[in-house]
Amino acid sequence: MPYLFTSESVSEGHPDKIADQISDALIDNFLAFDKDSKVACETLVTTGLTVLSGEVKSNAYLDVQKIAREVINKIGYTKGEYMFDGNSCGVISAIHEQSPDINQGVDRSNPEEQGAGDQGMMFGYATNETENYMPLALDLSHKILIELAKLRREGKELTYLRPDAKSQVTIEYSDDNTPQRIEAIVVSTQHDDFASEAEMLKTIKKDIVDVLIPRVKAQLKPELQKLFNDQIKYHINPTGKFVIGGPHGDTGLTGRKIIVDTYGGKGAHGGGAFSGKDPSKVDRSAAYATRHIAKNMVAAGIADEILVQVSYAIGVVEPMGIFVNTYGSAKVEMTDGEIAKKISEIFDMRPYAIETRLKLRNPIYSEAASYGHMGRENEVVKKEFISASGEKIEMEVELFPWEKLDYVDKVKSAFGV
């Protein structure tokens, strides 16, 4: 029997995502000036106020208030009428030194013996239903908000847009898990005040359906464009007026959008957030590593869909184990347990090995802090950082290295396909 599946996304101007982006901007700046930095930082944003807290061990000295303000302004909170803007909001820092009790379990004289920064389990997932091996409902939800932000920044159409927004897509699947059509699309976007609420709702709905959705649809391959039809149920700003938004409408915290950050409810999630954590924290690095494994496995044709789990004990070098679920889609004559064993032979999942393989001690995290950490474009970009003392660093870094399909040949060889 056909079934419906839904995923959501939130914009870069959503309060929780503002917090994530500030925390990851701090991570990037610490790593730019000291690759060995150990950082776990949290951000809170609310009406007129940003609070930075957490633990740091680093040789870098940063103007954390300046970094936070730059992030807020870049997102688009630049007007006093938003009741939260980068130039005038208060920024309080309560960042202190990392506990030596935790650090002793992680650092080793031999870097390869680095222990896991925490216990827990992490999941990676991939499916071949999209070109970037991501679940379709989440991919479309992200694309809607990315395009909405482009429209806001272009300032030519939908000139009333403000930074806060959410999207949601519901897709009907057939019994064989093939997308059939889009059942519903939800978009809630913050906006300037209108003289008439009725006119506001009419204008926003028309612009979303006639301007935004065609721009999203044009990015898709033909078979996915066919999922759009005249029967889609659109819920545009379904509660009505959405002028008060952002941190003034809802307090934001780092790490509260972990499903948006990953797979939109497909696969599984171990519960640990990513933003604000340096790569010694396996919550982050091992989640990226398992995504890297899952994507290369599906791209190699081992399965149409795969979930990979890894688990750790704090301070222990080797993972507790690797679990695999191919949901019955495996293309090789092996059990999921046998596939898991083979994966452990191909991929070194010790924390230091993950950091090295994926080049995670580089300042590459700000870009991941909005619109999902997975399914993004792997590319090399130039970045510039300025320390509190005025020291300037320019460097080239590789973004989203966990999205590379650089192990496909090794996987094929190992599995004999």
CB-count burial class (<10 Å; 0-12, 13-18, 19+) for 165: buried
CA distance 140 to 132: 12
Q: In the chain, how long is the greatest CA-to-CA distance? A: 67
Binding-site entries for Mg(2+): 16
Query: pLDDT category, 370, cuts 50, 70, 90?
Result: very high
Give residue 116's pLDDT: 85
CB-count burial class (<10 Å; 0-12, 13-18, 19+) for 377: exposed
Binding-site entries: 14, 16, 42, 55, 98, 164-166, 241-242, 250, 256-257, 273, 277, 281
pLDDT value at 105 more than 80: no
Binding-site entries for L-methionine: 55, 98, 250, 281
CA distance 349 to 347: 6
- The answer for residues whose C-beta is within 8 angstroms of residue 223's C-beta and 6 or more apart is none
- Mean pLDDT taken over the chain: 95
**Fold entry, domain 16-103:** GMP Synthetase; Chain A, domain 3 (3.30.300)
The CATH number of 3-10+135-244 is 3.30.300.10
Where are the domains positioned within the chain?
3-10+135-244, 16-103, 120-127+266-415
pLDDT value at 39 more than 90: yes
Give residue 356's pLDDT: 97
Query: pLDDT category, 318, cuts 50, 70, 90?
Result: very high
Cα dist. 408→26, 166, 271, 326 in Å?
A: 34, 35, 28, 17
Three-state DSSP at 383 gives: strand
Query: pLDDT category, 1, cuts 50, 70, 90?
Result: confident
- Alpha helix stretches (DSSP H) within 250-359: 258-261, 282-299, 336-346, 351-357
Task: Give per-residue pLDDT as tens, 177-203.
Answer: 999 999 999 999 999 999 898 999 999
Give residue 360's pLDDT: 98
Binding-site entries for K(+): 42
Give residue 115's pLDDT: 80
Query: What's the pTM?
Result: 0.96
- Is residue 262 within 8 A of residue 268, CB to CB? The reply is no
Domain 120-127+266-415 architecture? 2-Layer Sandwich (3.30)
CA distance 40 to 167: 29
- The answer for residues whose C-beta is within 8 angstroms of residue 234's C-beta and 6 or more apart is 184, 185, 186, 187, 205, 208, 209
Percentage of the chain surpassing pLDDT 70? 97
Rg (CA), the chain: 22
| Secondary structure letter of residue 45 according to DSSP | E
Query: pLDDT category, 102, cuts 50, 70, 90?
Result: low
pLDDT value at 110 more than 90: no
